[in-house]
Amino acid sequence: MEMYRRLSLAIVALLLVATVQGAESDYRGKVVIITGSSSGLGAALVEEAAAREMKLVLADINPGPSQAFAEAYTKRGGEALVVEVDLADARQRGRVIDRALARFGRVDMLINNAGYAYFANLQQQQLAQAQHLFEVNYWAYIDLAQRAIPALRRQGGAIINVASILGVIPSGPDLHAYAASKHALVGAFRSLHGELDAMGIQVKVVCPGGMKTNIFNAAIGAGKDKYKDMVKDWETPDKVAGEIFASLAKPGVLVFPTTVAHMAERFADQQQP
Reported as a single tens digit per residue, the pLDDT across 23-37 is: 455 999 999 999 999
Question: What is the average pLDDT value for the chain, to the nearest integer?
Answer: 85
**Domain span at residue 159?**
31-265
In a domain, 2, yes or no: no
Q: What are the angstrom distances between the C-alpha of 72 and each of 82, 95, 132?
A: 13, 24, 33
Which tens digit of pLDDT belongs to each residue from 193-251? 999 999 999 999 999 986 555 555 555 555 545 545 544 556 788 999 999 999 999 99
SS in 3 state form for the chain? CHHHHHHHHHHHHHHHHHHHHHHHHCCCCCEEEEECCCCHHHHHHHHHHHHCCCEEEEEECCCHHHHHHHHHHHHCCCCEEEEECCCCCHHHHHHHHHHHHHHHCCCCEEEECCCCCECCCCCCCCHHHHHHHHHHHHHHHHHHHHHHHHHHHHHCEEEEEECCHHHCCCCCCCCHHHHHHHHHHHHHHHHHHHHHHCCCEEEEEECCCCECCCHHHHCECHHHHHHHHHHHHCECHHHHHHHHHHHCCCCCCEECCCHHHHHHHCCCCCCCC
The confidence score (pLDDT) of residue 167 equals 92
44 touches 241 (CB < 8 A): yes
Active-site pick, 73, 118, 138, 178: 178
Whether 178 sits among the annotated catalytic residues: the reply is: yes
Structural domains of the chain, count: 1
In a domain, 273, yes or no: no
Q: Return the minimum-mean-pLDDT range out of 51-65, 76-90, 142-156, 161-175.
A: 161-175
In a domain, 68, yes or no: yes
Q: In terms of Cα–Cα distance, which of 204, 217, 196 is closest to 257?
A: 204
The confidence score (pLDDT) of residue 232 equals 53
Residue 89 scores a pLDDT above 50:
yes
Which tens digit of pLDDT belongs to each residue from 256-267? 986 554 545 544
Q: Percentage of the chain surpassing pLDDT 70?
A: 76
For residue 230, what is the domain's CATH number? Answer: 3.40.50.720
Residues in the chain: 273
The confidence score (pLDDT) of residue 257 equals 83
Please give the model's pTM, rounded to 2 decimal places.
Answer: 0.82
The confidence score (pLDDT) of residue 172 equals 78
In a domain, 227, yes or no: yes
Mean of pLDDT values over 80-104: 98
Which tens digit of pLDDT belongs to each residue from 166-192? 999 888 788 899 999 999 999 999 999
The confidence score (pLDDT) of residue 260 equals 54
Q: Percentage of the chain surpassing pLDDT 90?
A: 67
Give me the helix-helix angle, 176-197 and 127-134, nearest 10°. Answer: 30
In a domain, 204, yes or no: yes
The confidence score (pLDDT) of residue 246 equals 96
In a domain, 16, yes or no: no
The confidence score (pLDDT) of residue 91 equals 95
67 touches 119 (CB < 8 A): no
The confidence score (pLDDT) of residue 48 equals 98
In a domain, 172, yes or no: yes
In a domain, 84, yes or no: yes
